[in-house]
Amino acid sequence: MEERESVFRRQLVKVHNVPLFWSIAEEWAQVETFQARTDDLLIATYPKSGTTWISEIVDMIYNDGDVERCQRDAIFNRVPFMELIIPGMSNGVTQLAERPSPRLVKTHLPVQLLPKSFWENNCKMIYVARNPKDVAVSFYYFHQMAKMHPEPGTWHEFLEKFVAGEVVFGSWYDHVKGWWEKKKSHPILYLFYEDMKENPRCELQKVTQFLEKEVTEEAQEKILHHTTFQEMQKNPTSNYKLLSTGEMDHSVSPFMRKGITGDWKNHFTVAQNERFDKDYTEKMAGSTLKFQMEI
């Protein structure tokens, strides 16, 4: 009998010049025609930038800080990953179509690939960005444990691919700058992982104001506590341990890995750092976007 090719560890396939998982590329027509609703809230990020963290915060706001209600289901069901289509495993488009409003929708798509119904419906959007050095390190470990990604190779090889934008969802630079520009013409709350680490209360207040939600003092305290790294790391509904080990192998590297800013210093050599900084300066020239590489 002919052996079926595994869905995992396959080469990325470009859609409009952006590398995506092969199965997203194959089913791109479904993603492109996704039907947004006016009361959808879109959570957009480049991978490894704090998507799960902001998702948990927003779900808690929507549920008035009720911890039990937020543990009703895994984060990937409470905030479905719109474009993730893996045959026989997951389809964010159909999953979301079945969900009641108001929906929370996760995407990693660069701004130019977002289905047009989100713009037509003038949906609110929250974007979270994280400094690229920590993203690269986090992404490297994530490639090792999450099997939809191609094999990352050595750290050095992976860093080269990351800098060149030859990773799933493409260039970090294009992503953060693209969404930053879009903020001028659309209701997008643009947050930074480093600010969330430094001053979680202040960032939480920005989110509640943006969502026009009243949150009591008590609920706010519960949200702040429940969404710390330590709490989310041990919470099975937010730490991704409910997925099969075939998809994510936490024994290789846990999804909730370190949750800090500046871990890149434990990975970049001096030469890698100098090269990265030079490239960063060139690619970010002319942008008003600023990142904190340490806090």
Q: Which residues bind ligand A3P (CB under 6 A)?
A: 45, 47-53, 134, 138, 141, 227-229, 232, 256-259, 263
> Do residues 16 and 167 lie in contact, with contact meaning Cβ atoms separated by under 8 Å?
no
Residue nearer to ligand A3P on the CB measure, 45 or 237: 45
Residue nearer to ligand A3P on the CB measure, 265 or 278: 265
- In this structure, the strands spanning 188-192 and 124-129 are parallel
Residue nearer to ligand A3P on the CB measure, 138 or 272: 138
CA-derived radius of gyration, the chain: 18
Residue nearer to ligand A3P on the CB measure, 48 or 175: 48
Please work out, in degrees rounded to the nearest 5, the angle formed at the alpha carbon of residue 85 by the alpha carbons of 49 and 90: 95
In whole angstroms, what is the distance from residue 9 CA to residue 56 CA? 28
- Least distance from C-beta 15 to ligand A3P, angstroms? 21
Strands of 120-225 (E only): list them: 124-129, 188-192
- Least distance from C-beta 38 to ligand A3P, angstroms? 26
108 is catalytic: yes
- Least distance from C-beta 45 to ligand A3P, angstroms? 5
Here the tokens at position 9 are 């560890």
Catalytic hit among 108, 143, 149, 226: 108
Please work out, in degrees rounded to the nearest 5, the angle formed at the alpha carbon of residue 105 by the alpha carbons of 295 and 216: 65
- Least distance from C-beta 137 to ligand A3P, angstroms? 6
Sign, CA dihedral 237-240-241-243, equals positive
* Catalytic residue set: 108
